Structure 1
Amino acid sequence: MLLTITASFSPATDLGYLLHKNPSRAQSTDLGFGKAHVFYPEVNAERCTVALLLEVDPIGLVRGRNGPAGADRKLEEYVNDRPYAASSFLSVAIARVFASAMAGTSKERPELAAQELPLEAHLAALPCHGGEGLLRRLFEPLGYRLDATQAPLDRSHPEWGMSPYFSVTLRANRRLADLLTHLYVLVPVLDDDKHYWVGDDEVEKLLRRGAGWLDSHPERDLIVRRYLRHQTSLARAALERLTAEEEPEADTLETEHAVEEQRLESRIRLGEQRIDAVLAMLKQSGAQRVLDLGCGEGHLLAALLKEKLFHEIVGMDISHRSLERASDRLRLERMPERQRERVRLIHGSLMYRDRRLEGYDAAALVEVIEHLDPPRLRAMERNVFEFARPRTVVVTTPNSEYNVRFEGLPAGRLRHRDHRFEWTRAEFERWAQDIGERFGYEPRFLPVGNEDAAVGAPTQMAVFGR
């Protein structure tokens, strides 16, 4: 069982500091079920590759179990793929051998441990019960570029078909800790098995390892079920906790947003003006299939449904409760069937690549980007402009220069406590121009709301076209 990780930053040999493993010598660790060997087949300033070779002793595993030997033993306990294919044995080895790296700590290079680095991971034989499609649905939303080659059952007998084993290479700019954590969780999910007993402590382990990415992963439910070996009570407990951790925050944001921003903006009907402006740009683009990303309670969705031009409308939000409220606002349960076929609400996050968002004519992000801190903003940029890549993207965000015109808003305070930033017109234009250069879009800028001669309009909008 072989895993290699290659770093291509400079100096690449600093990978040894991140892994706490010296590139100049091999190391071995006894894991009980076998041995893990760490060595470096490639070491230079431009590229450095570490290999984790896991030797599993299946005979030793069987002999170590309680119970009679001999006739009661099944042949499959001795003859199986465990010594060769990536599985939960590899996850245990990663957690034991690369514990500090997976925790994101490095005494010698702490700043490097916190950085996103160009990394490549290769798994020589990864069982994937669900095929290449599932493989991609698990890793691509996390930002990985994936190459997968499926192995035949027997090269001498092609008529036997293909095996469930893939040679897989993952490439991404990620923290090393994130890469190791994703492998730790997702390898046994793809294998759909574990070599050890799964109990309540495994729920805690999954929630700890999945912090920051699992709750909004498009395949969250499948990951939870498989990781917990389809034990219904454990999976339900894990999903309830993931939802409970998500929803109060989402509800808090919605409440604050309603109380604070609407109080500020209601006198000038800014919310309605934003929807009208975005709707006008979407109609002008000629789009027929439209995404509302961060749809909230469905204000824009309701406006889109009134226009026959839009044949397919999808609203996505990270908050289940927001989607429920959007459903209520749109009266989906009582909507005529032909009208109901035009609209769909989906749960998802802009932090992860989601193939459900690909192939649409246009997307709108109405007052969304200011809620994202810089790393999440960068992830959103790639997922919308590089991966989903609609022909037209409409983005609105507050104009911070206009804040001085709002009564009751102290100097220096943002319109909403959850805003990570509020940009000036120049800052927003620089961001949009950078998006255009990186992803092949041409932005144009329009004011939303009554424009003040000195400070501009209260909302600024960019319409990206390609």
Structure 2
Amino acid sequence: MLLSITYHGPQARDLGYLLHKHPDRLQRFSLPFGRAHVFYPEVNETRCTATLLLEVDPVALSRRAEGRNPGLPLEPYVNDRPYAANSFLSVALGDVYGTALAGRSRERQDLAGTPLTLEAHLPALRARRGGEALVRALFEPLGYTVQTRRVPLEERFPEWGESPYLELRLSGTRRLCELLAHLYVLIPVLDDAKHYWVGADEVEKLLRRGAGWLEAHPERERIVSRYLRYRAGLTSAALEGLSNPEAPGEQAQAAEKQEDDLPAAPEAEDAGTARVSLHDERLDAVTELLLTSGARRVLDLGCGEGKLLRRLAARSEFQQIVGVDLSRQALAIAARRLERLSERSRSRVRLLHGSLTYNDRRLRGFDAAALVEVIEHLEPHRLGALEASVFGSARPRRVVVTTPNADYNVLFENHTPGHLRHADHRFEWTRAEFEGWASGVALRHGYRVAFLGLGPATETTGAITQAAVFDLEEKNL
């Protein structure tokens, strides 16, 4: 699966600064479903091309599809998912080009905000239920010149006829972040067969990536419906969010309230007892673990939209509360939520924009820290940087980490082996994997660690959520 982006213009090599990928190096990235490679087949002063090559593991795909199509026994092994542009490529764009997608560039921020002459090339794209007409309907209103070519089934044997795949070239003058956002949203819309479960978090993602262009798109209803896999409730929430640009996150929150948790397995629920939201149970447990440590100054690392922060602010025991997140939009939503608190409670909370993978002096000197459902959103190779930042540099006396328990996934009704609970997860660990990582962190940084399960549980799988509680050993205080 290939995507090439070409910049025509003066100092074209600066495309490397915008993508944060050096033109002189071949770079490789691990993904949950395979590997991505970035390389530059063409670099000169007036033209520069960056190519993203995505290798999707066909064996992993066959395991995920096991038993789904008994009438087509070879389909799990012979299909177009590793080759034609689809939602796997969209996820890879967010992972590999995430900084460019957000419109940021450390060295060339002025260029990141400038419309450039750009071209995008997809050698193979399947436009289900729409074909070339759908491709044009989606991209031409955005100002692109669209060129398509029907790909033969076999170049050497044209008599075999045409395939359902198109070669697509887009050209236009846009900011790079706009081009990436259009591809990020519209590739899975064209494919119309996302590889992952579509839940409430997809509404927020669509509103974020569609901001500034999707609101006025003539095909916005079709885009939203196909992106959200025709789920009526989520589609309505997203369309409402697009109609209310003053508070786009509020509609996503409404959808999140309806679909906050994955369904618990029947045997994990106590008949006759009202089911408490897993999300609430998790946050309540973390709050209690922070309280029992005697902490007065606490960090919520990866605070998102501030749900844990509001709980912490409601407890007078915490004198200083700091939330840290990389997403400015999430921090803005958190700030709005905190406005509903009393002035006294609000005065004890501070929000910081920052990355957890870089040492930050502002995070030192705190009693405790929480990372609630955070680590699984990082690429595995970035966990070492997070470890150094949190346990090496900040060094709070207690650290509480929660993450999904992959052992529990077999209890979900639609589970297939290797499938992750959410598209934004980069991995999900079994209990043994999580305990191995946490024990290593504790040993390297002078902590002791204890493990517990949160939420519904069975004897064979453990709990739906797993937690590690790190306490700094007295000799290291």
Distance 2:140 2:149 in 1: 16
* Residue identity opposite 1:223 in structure 2: I
Describe the superposition over 1:320-349 as per-residue Cα deviations: whole angstroms up to 9, x where unpaired: xxxxxxxxxxxxxxxxxxxxxxxxxxxxxx
Instruction: Indicate the residue corresponding to 2:123 in structure 1.
Output: 124
1:60–1:142 Cα change, 3 Å? same
CA contact (8 A) 1:104 1:113 kept: yes
Instruction: Indicate the residue corresponding to 1:86 in structure 2.
Output: 85
CA contact (8 A) 1:91 1:184 kept: yes
The worse-fitting range, judged by mean Cα deviation, of 203-212 and 74-83 is: 74-83
* Residue identity opposite 1:57 in structure 2: D
* Residue identity opposite 2:3 in structure 1: L
Describe the superposition over 1:181-239 as per-residue Cα deviations: whole angstroms up to 9, x where unpaired: 00000001011110000000001100110001111100000000110011122112211
Instruction: Indicate the residue corresponding to 1:237 in structure 2.
Output: 237
1:106 pairs with 2:101? no
* Residue identity opposite 2:118 in structure 1: L
Within-5 A mapping of 1:289-328: none
The worse-fitting range, judged by mean Cα deviation, of 154-163 and 9-18 is: 154-163
Distance 1:66 1:189 in 2: 21
CA contact (8 A) 2:65 2:76 kept: no
Instruction: Indicate the residue corresponding to 1:162 in structure 2.
Output: 162
1:45–1:226 Cα change, 3 Å? same
1:68–1:147 Cα change, 3 Å? closer
**Partner SS for 2:242:** helix
Within-5 A mapping of 1:325-404: none
Within-5 A mapping of 1:176-325: 176-245=176-245
Instruction: Indicate the residue corresponding to 2:418 in structure 1.
Output: none
Distance 1:167 1:70 in 2: 28
Instruction: Indicate the residue corresponding to 1:58 in structure 2.
Output: 58
Instruction: Indicate the residue corresponding to 1:145 in structure 2.
Output: 145
Instruction: Indicate the residue corresponding to 1:27 in structure 2.
Output: 27
1:49 pairs with 2:42? no
Shift of 1:68: 7.9
> Identity across aligned pairs (percent)?
61
Distance 1:71 1:151 in 2: 29
Instruction: Indicate the residue corresponding to 1:9 in structure 2.
Output: 9
Structure 2 residue ranges without an equivalent (≥5): 249-477
Shift of 1:163: 2.1
Structure 1 residue ranges without an equivalent (≥5): 249-466
**Partner SS for 2:15:** helix
Distance 1:155 1:49 in 2: 25
Shift of 1:161: 4.5
Shift of 1:110: 0.6
1:71–1:139 Cα change, 3 Å? closer
Distance 2:29 2:213 in 1: 30
Greater gyration radius:
1
1:97 pairs with 2:100? no
Instruction: Indicate the residue corresponding to 1:300 in structure 2.
Output: none
CA contact (8 A) 1:215 1:246 kept: no
Shift of 1:61: 2.9
Shift of 1:246: 8.1
Describe the superposition over 1:109-150 as per-residue Cα deviations: whole angstroms up to 9, x where unpaired: 010000000111100101112011111010000000011001
CA contact (8 A) 1:120 1:171 kept: yes
1:203–1:156 Cα change, 3 Å? same
Shift of 1:72: 10
Instruction: Indicate the residue corresponding to 1:359 in structure 2.
Output: none
Query: Which structure shows the higher helix fraction?
Result: 1
Distance 2:180 2:73 in 1: 34
Number of residue-to-residue matches in the alignment: 247
CA contact (8 A) 2:241 2:247 kept: no
CA contact (8 A) 1:2 1:124 kept: yes
* Residue identity opposite 1:235 in structure 2: T
Distance 2:47 2:10 in 1: 8
Distance 1:213 1:15 in 2: 23
Shift of 1:152: 2.9
1:237–1:152 Cα change, 3 Å? same
* Residue identity opposite 1:186 in structure 2: L
Distance 1:66 1:152 in 2: 27
CA contact (8 A) 2:150 2:165 kept: yes
**Partner SS for 1:212:** coil
Distance 1:70 1:165 in 2: 22
Distance 1:137 1:69 in 2: 33
Distance 2:39 2:54 in 1: 12
Instruction: Indicate the residue corresponding to 2:133 in structure 1.
Output: 133
**Partner SS for 1:245:** coil
Distance 1:11 1:69 in 2: 51
Distance 1:67 1:103 in 2: 36
Within-5 A mapping of 1:441-452: none
Shift of 1:32: 1.4
Distance 2:181 2:79 in 1: 26
Distance 2:176 2:247 in 1: 29
Distance 2:87 2:209 in 1: 14
* Residue identity opposite 2:245 in structure 1: E
Q: CA RMSD in A?
A: 2.5
CA contact (8 A) 1:35 1:56 kept: yes
**Partner SS for 2:245:** helix
Shift of 1:71: 8.1
